[in-house]
C-alpha cells in the first residue's frame, strides 16, 4: 500500500488515477487553509479544511454556481484563481453600482456589480431601468449573463440571467455582474459570462475538453478516459483567472469591493511544497509540487492554497511505497535553483 507521510501541517490526499493509455499516476494533493486579517496579516488556520473530492454546488449540481471546487484533478497546466463571496458596498452605504477587483501577482480581473435592473418597454422600445441600491451582492454566476430561453441555453452559464432568443417582456431582469468594458445595451447582446467563481465541468468551455464517450469508447476504452480527453478540462477557474507559469506562493494580493471594511491587501505565504518519493526499487527522488489552485473566501477571512504533483508509476500504483510531503521556503528553493550543478 502506498503511504503519504504528510509533514506540512496542511491537509493532504494521494489519489490514484490512470490516463487514456492506462498508465498509472498517484496524484499528491496538499491543501493549506490560511487566515487573513484586516491589516493584511496572514496566519495558518488552526483547523485545516479537508481536501474537497467533488464540486459543492449552490443549488442543483451542474446547473448552479460552485461554492467549493473539487481538488481532485490529474494535472493543471496553470494556476486556477477563484473567489467565493459577495460584493460589499463601503461601510454598509448602499450603492447602485461598484467595481470589484481581484489581483494576484500578474493576474488582474475587474468587474462591475450593478443593482437589480429590468427591461422596460416604452414608446421607443426596450430600455434599461435605473439600478436599485444594494449593500451586499452575491458574486455568483446566477447574477451574471446567461440562462435559457425557448429550449435554448447559454452553454457557458445556464444558471445566469439575461439570455433571450426573442425580445423579452417588460420586467425581465438583467445581470448584476458585468465586464465594465462590454456592458449590455441591447437584449440581443451576448457577452461572455463574468464572475470570479469556478465553472462546473458540464459548462463551456470545460465541456469541450472532456472527450468523446460513445459506443466505441464503451467497447474499446472503458473504464479509461477517452483518447481525446484534454487536460484543459481540469482548469476550473474563469478563463481570465489563470496564471501561467504557476504562481510561486509569495505574490501580492489585492481584493477590492469584497469586504465592507475596505480593500484587503496581503501577500501569499512564501512557501513551496517538496516531495520525497520512495519507489519500490531505487533511491528516493525529490519532486516539487505546483501551486495550481488558489481560492479566496473573504466573507470568512480565509483562503486556500492547493499544491499538486502527479507521480508516474513504473508499472502499477504499488510501485510507489511512500511519499513524504514537506514545506520549504521559497528563498531556499531559489537558492537551490541558482546553485552550480
Tell whether the model's pLDDT for residue 340 goes beyond 80. no
How high is the pLDDT of residue 315? Answer: 84
User: pLDDT tens across 242-261, in order?
Assistant: 999 999 999 999 999 999 99
For the chain, what is the mean pLDDT? 94
Tell whether the model's pLDDT for residue 336 goes beyond 50. no
Cα gap 31→8, rounded to integer Å:
9
How high is the pLDDT of residue 184? Answer: 97
For the residues 90-99, what does the mean pLDDT come to? 90
Local confidence band at 334 (pLDDT 50, 70, 90 cut-offs) = low
How high is the pLDDT of residue 223? Answer: 94
Local confidence band at 301 (pLDDT 50, 70, 90 cut-offs) = very high
What Rg value do the Cα atoms of the chain yield, rounded? 22
Tell whether the model's pLDDT for residue 337 goes beyond 70. no
Three-state secondary structure readout of the chain = CCEEEECCCCEEEEEEEECCCCCEEEEEEEEEEEEECCCCCEEECCCCCCCCCCCEECCCCCCCCEEECCCCCCCCCCEEEEECCEEECHHHCCECEEEEEEEECCEEEEEEEECCCEEEEECCEEEECCCCCECEEECCHHHEEECEECCEECCCCCCCEECCCCCCCCCCECCCEECCCCCCCCCCCCCCCCCCCECCCCCCCHHHHCCCCCHHHHHHCCCCCCCCCCHHHHCCCCCCCEECCCCCCCCEEEEECCCCCCCEEEECCCEEEEEEEEECCCCCEEEECEEEEEEEEHHHCEEEEEEEEEEECCCCHHHEEEEEEEEEEHHHHHHHHHCCC
User: pLDDT tens across 196-227, in order?
Assistant: 999 999 999 999 999 999 999 999 999 999 99
Local confidence band at 265 (pLDDT 50, 70, 90 cut-offs) = very high
Determine what percent of the chain falls in helix, strand and coil, rounding each to the nearest 5. 10, 40, 50
Task: Please say whether the beta carbons of 293 and 284 come within 8 A.
Answer: no
Tell whether the model's pLDDT for residue 148 goes beyond 90. yes
Q: How many CB atoms lie within 10 A of CB 94?
A: 11
For the residues 315-333, what does the mean pLDDT come to? 86
Cα gap 76→309, rounded to integer Å:
9
Q: Can you count the helices (H) and strands (E) in the chain? A: 2, 26
How high is the pLDDT of residue 341? Answer: 30
**Percent of the chain scoring above 90 in pLDDT:** 90
pTM (whole model) above 0.85: yes
For residue 211, what are the CA distances in angstroms to 232, 235, 270? 11, 15, 37
Amino acid at each position: 500500500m502506498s503511504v503519504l507521510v504528510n509533514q506540512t501541517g496542511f491537509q493532504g490526499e494521494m489519489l490514484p488515477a490512470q490516463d487514456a493509455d492506462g498508465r498509472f499516476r498517484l496524484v499528491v494533493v496538499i491543501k493549506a487553509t490560511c487566515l487573513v486579517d484586516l491589516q493584511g496579516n496572514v496566519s495558518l488556520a488552526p483547523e485545516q479544511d479537508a481536501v474537497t473530492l467533488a464540486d459543492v454546488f449552490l443549488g442543483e449540481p451542474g446547473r448552479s454556481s460552485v461554492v467549493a471546487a473539487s481538488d481532485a484533478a490529474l494535472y493543471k497546466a496553470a494556476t486556477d484563481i477563484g473567489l467565493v463571496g459577495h460584493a460589499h458596498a463601503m461601510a454598509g452605504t448602499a450603492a447602485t453600482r461598484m467595481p470589484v477587483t481581484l489581483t494576484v501577482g500578474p493576474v488582474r480581473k475587474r468587474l462591475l456589480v450593478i443593482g437589480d435592473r429590468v427591461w422596460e418597454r416604452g414608446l421607443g422600445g426596450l430600455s434599461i431601468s435605473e439600478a436599485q441600491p444594494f449593500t451586499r451582492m452575491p458574486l455568483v454566476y446566477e447574477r451574471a449573463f446567461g440562462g435559457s430561453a425557448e429550449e435554448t441555453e447559454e452553454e457557458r452559464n445556464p444558471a445566469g440571467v439575461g439570455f433571450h432568443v426573442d425580445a423579452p417582456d417588460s420586467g425581465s431582469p438583467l445581470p448584476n455582474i458585468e465586464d465594465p468594458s462590454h456592458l449590455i445595451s441591447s437584449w440581443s447582446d451576448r457577452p461572455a459570462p463574468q464572475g470570479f467563481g469556478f465553472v462546473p465541468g458540464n459548462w463551456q468551455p470545460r465541456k469541450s475538453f472532456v472527450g468523446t464517450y460513445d459506443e466505441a469508447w464503451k467497447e474499446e476504452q472503458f473504464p479509461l478516459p477517452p483518447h481525446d480527453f484534454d487536460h484543459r478540462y481540469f482548469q476550473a477557474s474563469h478563463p481570465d483567472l489563470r496564471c501561467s507559469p504557476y504562481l510561486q506562493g509569495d505574490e501580492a494580493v489585492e481584493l477590492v469591493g469584497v469586504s465592507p471594511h475596505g480593500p484587503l491587501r496581503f501577500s501569499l505565504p512564501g512557501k513551496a511544497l517538496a516531495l520525497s518519493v520512495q519507489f519500490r526499487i531505487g533511491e528516493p527522488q525529490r519532486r516539487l509540487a505546483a501551486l495550481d489552485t488558489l481560492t479566496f473566501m473573504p466573507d470568512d477571512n480565509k483562503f486556500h492554497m492547493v499544491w499538486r504533483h502527479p507521480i508516474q508509476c513504473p508499472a502499477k500504483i504499488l510501485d510507489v511505497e511512500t511519499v513524504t510531503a514537506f514545506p520549504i521556503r521559497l528563498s531556499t528553493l531559489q537558492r537551490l535553483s541558482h546553485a552550480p550543478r
